[in-house]
Amino acid sequence: MAVYFNDQFVSNEEAKLHVADLSLQRGYAVFDFFRTVNGVPLFMDDHLDRFYASAAGLYMTINKNREELKAIVQELLQRSSLSEAGIRLMLTGGYSADSYHSMTPNLIITCNPAKTATADDFEKGYSVITYEHQRQLPHIKSINYLVAVWLQPLLKEKGADDVLYHYNNIITEFPRSNVFIVTADNILVTPARNILYGITRKHVLSLAAGYLPVEERDITLPELMNATEVFLTSTTKKIIPVLHIDNNTIGNGKPGPVTRELYRQLTTLQTNLAANEQNCH
C-alpha cells in the first residue's frame, strides 16, 4: 500500500519515523480517520475540520490546505484500488532534540482496507463495562489511548466488547465511540462535555432531530442503567446497540425501535452520499 509521508508517496516499508519524533517519545500527535463507500470518502469535510482543529489544539500547523489534503487522499485511493478503505491522517510533534519541545510536524496519510460493523453485528449488540476515567484534552483527537489499551485484559476477563468511561458519576464516552441513551419518555440524550465530538455522532443527532426530541447534557450512571435503549456511534461501527452494561440488561436485551430506525436512516444517508458522489463523476 502507498503512504503519503511528508510531501511524497512511498511504500509502507519506506514510511519510517525517526526515534526522536515526539509521537514516540511523548505520545504527542493527533490523527483522524474516515472511511470510503464504493471509493467515495464519507463526511470528509467534517473529518478535515476536526483534524485541523485537533492540530491547532496541540499548537501544530498542517502545511497542506484542505484541497491539497483531498487531492492526496484521492491519489492514495487510486493507488490502492480499494472501494472500502480507511483513510488515516496523522500529524506528529516532529523530531525533537530534547524529546520535550515540538518541532516541525510530520504528516502521514495512510489508506488500508476498512473493517466495518455488519448488520449481524448490529443484531448481536454489545456487552460493555463501565470504568471511571477522564481522557486528557478530550476535545482533541490525539493518539493517547493508554488507558483503553491497558484495559484490554480486563475486557477479555469480563467477556465485554468495550468500556464506557464515566467521571464523578457522569458518563462520557467509549474510547473510540460516542454514547446515546433513550429515556423512558422517549428522549434521545447524549453527553455534551468532556468528550470527543464524533462525526457519526453529529450526523445521528441531525437525523434524530426530525424523529424525536434530542438533548445534549450530562447523563448520570443511574440514568444510563434505567435507559430503555443505549447505543454507540463511530466511523467503523456506525451504530451498535448496547444491550448489557455491567451485567445489567438494557430494555428487553434486544435492539430497540429508536436505535433500529436511526441505524436505518444512517445507512441510507451513507449509501445515498456515495451514490450521489459517484453520479457527479
Annotated catalytic residues are 141
Q: How far is CA 51 from CA 86, 109, 180, 210, in A?
A: 15, 12, 24, 29
Residue type, 174: F
- Which of these, 160, 117, 126, lies nearest to 231 by C-alpha position? 126
Question: Measured between alpha carbons, how far is 240 from 233 in angstroms, rounded to an integer?
Answer: 7
Helices (H), the chain: 22-25, 44-57, 66-80, 119-124, 146-150, 152-158, 199-208, 221-225, 257-280
Residue type, 206: S
| DSSP, residue by residue, 45-77 | HHHHHHHHHHHHHTT---SS-HHHHHHHHHHHH
- Which of these, 202, 196, 246, 252, lies nearest to 225 by C-alpha position? 246
Instruction: Specify the residue for cell string 434521545.
Output: 188
Question: Measured between alpha carbons, how far is 88 from 110 in angstroms, rounded to an integer?
Answer: 5
